[in-house]
Structure 1
Amino acid sequence: MEEKSVVRFANRMDQLPPYLFGMINQMKMEKRRAGDDVIDLGMGNPMDPTPDAVIEKLIEVAKDPKSHRYPESSGMPHLKIEIAKYYKRHYDIDIDSETQTYFTIGSKEGISHLCLAIMGPGDSVLVPAPAFPIHIYAAVIAGANVMKIPIEPEKSFLDRIINICESCYPKPKVLMLNYPHNPTGVVTDKEFFKEVVSLAKRFKFMVINDFAYSKITFDGYEAPSFLEADGAKDVGVEFGSFSKSYNMAGWRIGYCVGNAEIVQALGKIKGYFDYGIFSAIQVAGIIALRDCDDTIPELANLYQTRRDVLCSGLERIGWDIKKPKAGMFVWAKIPEPFNKMGAMQFAVEMMDRANVAVAPGTGFSEEGEGFLRLALVENEERLRQAVRQMKKAMENMIV
């Protein structure tokens, strides 16, 4: 008689599909091990270097044995002061560095742990769709119910919030926002956030805004902070990241700012999970916030140039493309007749036939069907080459 395995998982694992980027990366690595040159547009993983001043400070501090001890878990006092100064400088927002800031191991980790702190079985969270996976599945892991709202059009989005809050019991507990939006690149303005704060106070829900792409903006557009809206700190928090603005993706440093009670809840639950960010990285983060403002426009211009190259290339081969005003992705509608095969199969075909890794829209919920998310991380020549290879592959595909 065959013995049963002792391995048994929690029921929540049944609600988690295979992680999209893990699947894409596995396919990519298998191709590369076989000797193929895969152009990687699948993941928003910056290939450009971190500013020199940040790297030099990391090396300096890492050599000091004092930095090898457990770090300041919520963030070094000077780092918290610098993020408060950053918000004042860029958005004219007053942030109390002691009570309204907390540093996280990237914004993704911070959002995940905050969901555990403020959500549970019986709670509901409103999430724009399509969505970056953690915005949905952090709530799922916490045991909450996810209610997805199409992100466009904006007016309909706000009306849907009102309708849900008026018709559901219990009312939603949290609204998860993400502007500039990943994966679609949709942007918003201060008036939108003003309306959100009004609704949050009216229907008594909290707001989380993922602001990871705050400074990667194009064509003169400047992304507002959620906290710029009057009363925003009464109802919610904002998460930011060093990954995109300073090319520090692998360093794993992000932050949460805003409502002091919510920030405190995040700190309480993180106290049971981790000891914070390596001290040398925190000091390097101080340098980034204090001394690297001038590198941000240069980086945004680099992404804008890549956006223009990729969008114009896809348009030349017959794709209907809407240029994003922010972020590091192009949200591209798969052209007919190839959209009939579905986004996942089309992405597999692009990997197999074109040696181009792309992210299928269905990885961002079923609302992303028919789209691809293309990351602007490769250089201009590689982007042009990707378009040529995709064109050739499509010419040889049978639908």
Structure 2
Amino acid sequence: MRFARRMNHFGEGIFSKLLELKRQKEEKGEPVIDLSVGAPNIPPAGHITQALCEAAADPNNYIYAIQDQKELLEAVALWYQRRYGVTLDPSSEICSLLGSQEGLAHIALSIVDEGDIVLVPDPCYPVFADGPLLAGASLFYMPQRKEKDYLIDFSEIPEEIAMKARFMIVSYPNNPTTVMAPDSFYKNLIEFAKKYDIVVLHDNAYSELVFDHRQCGSFLSFPGAKEIGVEFNSLSKTYGLAGARIGFCLGNRDIVDKIKTLKSNMDYGMFLPVQKAAIAAITGDQSCVESTRMAYERRRDALCEHMTRIGWNMEKPQATMFVWAKIPDKFKDSETFSRELLEKAGVLVTPGSAFGPSGEGFVRLALVREEEVLIQAAEQVDKSGILR
């Protein structure tokens, strides 16, 4: 049998590899504290699960959804107006996604042709690069360096690359580096995209998980943003609905129209009870959002303070549900360190190399366990002697 050449770009996903390493260790009877995958363990609020259960009990809700329900689109528009001060037309500027990952994997198919250049951050969440590769694009990595506060410097993009680029992906608060971007960054982004006629996708999955009294808004709130781009947002982390796969593409009506058309040929839309849960989440009592944010901030403090205390210095992230930590100096690469950390300390993290060339030398830890478990993880790392 022969297979598509595009598959040469892809090996087994990093998170599948980590899961296998975890399984092997647990089969030996050795417990693992898994901080590798950003799978939230904070469940949805009661009013959200109630809406889901009531809708799931209705036999009429098991038909194909085909299109987003009008009620959902109007709820999303009200949510963006209330939360971000952004006005959206429910009928033409909003499209649901079966989770942001699905949208990130497919949107490039509606924008670029084979060989077109797509600008992606480095390091970045893997599907930022994988989606354009599926579409046959060529990637140009935009470095996010610590010495520049992990912000993309558009002046470093060569003129000949910028002139050929069709599409670019950015995301702040950033996974994996955990930083936020100032208003000036978005103004520069929009100016750059307009100058070179580049479509922009801003992933805003972590706008509610910001710490130390910081505030976070929307890319679409900046003048000119809707002229050149869209934003993805997700209910996975904010409302604990990761497994329900609820995301949205919002903004420029031409881009939204193209992804709607693409999706109409690929899927039958979001399960109706899940649409009802999404409506309940974004229109109901919002106190759960602050409770979730506070929980992650406490977890951040517990992990970073205890790891720093034992000699693994961890800077506290500005936002997201992750910690981006430099590996100890005695280790040459992040994958070797991650494997040794699992073997000796029973703590599973994601090597930074999984996020692109500039991720080497770091690991990402997900704040997906309770504070006492995170403290235990630090104790196990200390006892293992891996830092000495």
**TM-score with structure 2 setting the length:** 0.96
Q: Which residue of 2 aligns with 1:57?
A: 51
Counterpart contact for 1:256–1:263, Cα < 8 Å: yes
> Mean alpha-carbon deviation: is it higher for 200-209 or for 345-354?
345-354
Residues 1:369 and 2:327 are matched in the alignment: no
- Which residue of structure 2 aligns with residue 313 of structure 1? 306
Please show how residues 59-98 of structure 1 align to structure 2 within 5 Å. Answer: 59-73=53-67, 75-98=68-91
Task: State how far apart, in whole Å, the 1-side matches of 2:307 and 2:65 are.
Answer: 47
Amino acid at match of 2:154: D
1:389 corresponds to 2:380: yes
Structure 2 residue corresponding to 1:160, chosen from 147, 155, 158: 155
Q: 1:150 to 1:240 in 2, by over 3 A?
A: same
Match of 2:343 in 1: 352
Distance 2:246 2:289 in 1: 17
**Cα distance between partner residues in 2 of 1:169 and 1:47:** 41
Query: In the alignment, does 2:182 pair up with 1:173?
Result: no
Residue of structure 2 in register with 1:25 after alignment:
19
SS in 2 for 1:176: strand
Q: 1:34 aligns with which of 22, 25, 28?
A: 28
Aligned mates of 1:94, 1:119 — CA distance in 2: 28
Amino acid paired to 2:35: L
Question: 2:153 is paired with a residue of what secondary structure?
Answer: helix
1:303 and 1:376 in contact (8 A); partners too: yes
Q: Is the 8 A contact 1:190 1:228 kept in 2?
A: no
Deviation at 1:17, TM superposition (A): 2.8
- What is the deviation of 1:297? 1.0
User: What is the match of residue 250 of structure 1?
Assistant: 243
> What per-residue deviation string (whole Å, max 9, x for no partner) do you get for residues 47-102 of structure 1?
111111111111111111110000143x2111111111111111111010110000
SS in 2 for 1:331: strand
- Counterpart CA distance in 2 for 1:391 and 1:64 is 53
Mapped contact 2:230–2:252 kept (Cα < 8 A) = yes
SS at match of 1:363: helix
Tell me the residue number matched to 1:3.
Answer: none
Shift of 1:323: 1.2
Give 1:154 deviation, angstroms. 5.9
Secondary structure at the counterpart of residue 276 of structure 1 = coil
Code of the aligned partner of 2:75: E
Q: 1:25 to 1:78 in 2, by over 3 A?
A: same
Secondary structure at the counterpart of residue 232 of structure 2 = strand
Bigger shift: residues 151-160 or 84-93: 151-160
Q: Counterpart of 2:211 in 1: which secondary structure?
A: coil
- Contact (CA 8 Å) 1:128, 1:149: kept in 2 or not? yes
Structure 2 CA distance for aligned equivalents of residues 112 and 215 of structure 1? 23
The CA distance in 1 between the partners of 2:310 and 2:155, in whole Å, is: 37
Query: In the alignment, which residue of structure 2 is the partner of 1:184?
Result: 177
Structure 1 residue 396: Cα displacement = 8.5
Helix, strand or coil at the partner of 1:125: strand
CA, structure 1 residues 169+122, in 2 after alignment: closer, same or farther (shift >3 Å)? farther
Q: Judging changes above 3 Å, is the alpha-carbon distance between structure 1 residues 292 and 357 closer, same or farther for their aligned structure 2 residues?
A: farther
SS of 1:300 mapped into structure 2: helix
Deviation for aligned residue 1:195: 1.5
Is it true that 1:322 corresponds to 2:302 in the alignment? no
User: 1:50·1:247 contact (CA, 8 Å) conserved in 2?
Assistant: yes
The counterpart of 1:15, out of the listed 9, 13, 36, is 9
Equivalence map 1:123-142=2 (5 Å)? 123-142=116-135
TM-score by length of 1: 0.93
Letter in 1 for 2:221: E
Cα 1:297–1:259 change in 2 (3 A) is same
Give distance in 1, aligned partners of 2:3 and 2:150: 42
Q: CA deviation at 1:119?
A: 1.6
Deviation at 1:223, TM superposition (A): 1.7
Do the aligned residues in 2 keep the contact of 1:175 with 1:206 (CA within 8 Å)?
Answer: yes
Show the counterpart of 2:207: 214
Percent of aligned positions that are identical: 38
Q: Which amino acid aligns with 1:251?
A: A
Task: Map 1:325-340; keep pairs closer than 5 Å.
Answer: 325-337=318-330, 339-340=331-332
CA RMSD between the two structures: 1.6
1:26 is displaced (CA, Å) by 1.5
Match of residue 343 from structure 1: 334
Task: Return 5+ residue gaps in structure 2 as ranges.
Answer: none
Q: Is the 8 A contact 2:344 2:386 kept in 1?
A: no
Residue in structure 2 matched with residue 295 of structure 1 by the alignment: 288
Deviation at 1:324, TM superposition (A): 0.9
Distance 1:314 1:335 in 2: 12
Contact 1:72 1:279 in 2 (8 A): no
Report the equivalent of 1:111. Answer: 104
The count of aligned residue pairs is 386
The whole-number CA distance in structure 1 between the counterparts of 2:227 and 2:297 is: 35
Offset, 1:137 = 1.0
Instruction: In structure 2, give the amino acid aligned to 1:264.
Output: D
| Distance across 2 between alignment mates of 1:64 and 1:276 | 18
Q: Which residue of 2 aligns with 1:230?
A: 223
